[in-house]
Structure 1
Amino acid sequence: MKILIVGANGTIGKKVTASLADKHEIIKVGKNSGQYQVEISDAVSIEEMFKKSGKVDAIVCIAGDAKWDKFNNLSEEDFYIGIKSKLMGQVNLVRIGQNYINPGGSFTLTAGILADHPVDKTTSAAMVNGGIHSFVKAVALELENGLRINAVSADLVEDAKEKYEDYFPGHTPVPMDKVADGYKKSILGKVNGEIIKIVA
Structure 2
Amino acid sequence: MRILVIGASGTIGSEIVKTFGPDHEIIQAGRNGKDVQVDISSVESIKNMYDQVGKVDAVVNAAGGAKFAKLTELTPEINEVGIQSKQKGQVNLVLLGMDYVNDNGSFTLTTGIMMDDPIKEGAGIAMANGAVKYFVKAAAIEMPRGIRINSVSPTIMKESWEALGSYFQGFDPAPASKAALLYKKSVLGALTGKNLEMY
TM-score clears 0.5: yes
Partner residue of 1:97?
97
Runs of at least 4 residues off by over 4 Å: none
Structure 1 distance, partners of 2:193, 2:71, is 31
Structure 1 distance, partners of 2:75, 2:196, is 31
Secondary structure of 2:144's counterpart equals coil
Structure 2 distance, partners of 1:74, 1:18, is 37
Cα offsets for 1:75-122 (capped at 9, x unmatched): 111111111111000000000110101000000000000110110111
Secondary structure of 1:145's counterpart equals helix
**Number of matched pairs:** 199
Could you list the runs of 5+ residues in structure 2 that have no partner in the other structure?
none
TM-superposed CA distance for 1:162, in Å, is 1.4
Cα offsets for 1:2-25 (capped at 9, x unmatched): 000000000000111011122100
Partner residue of 2:33?
33
**AA paired with 1:179?**
A
Question: What RMSD over aligned residues (CA atoms) do the two structures have, in Å?
Answer: 0.8
Structure 2 distance, partners of 1:181, 1:168, is 22
Partner residue of 2:114?
114
TM-superposed CA distance for 1:174, in Å, is 1.4
1:135 aligned to 2:135? yes
Structure 1 distance, partners of 2:91, 2:196, is 18
Q: Is the 8 A contact 2:12 2:177 kept in 1?
A: no
Structure 2 distance, partners of 1:178, 1:64, is 19
Q: Is the 8 A contact 2:11 2:176 kept in 1?
A: no
Partner residue of 2:14?
14
Partner residue of 2:3?
3
Structure 2 distance, partners of 1:6, 1:30, is 5
Structure 2 distance, partners of 1:73, 1:177, is 34
Structure 2 distance, partners of 1:115, 1:14, is 24
TM-superposed CA distance for 1:57, in Å, is 0.3
TM-score (norm 1): 0.97
Percent of residue pairs identical: 45
Partner residue of 1:170?
170
Secondary structure of 1:191's counterpart equals coil
Cα offsets for 1:29-79 (capped at 9, x unmatched): 011232100111111110110000000000011011112111111111111
Structure 2 distance, partners of 1:184, 1:15, is 10
Partner residue of 1:71?
71
**AA paired with 1:134?**
Y
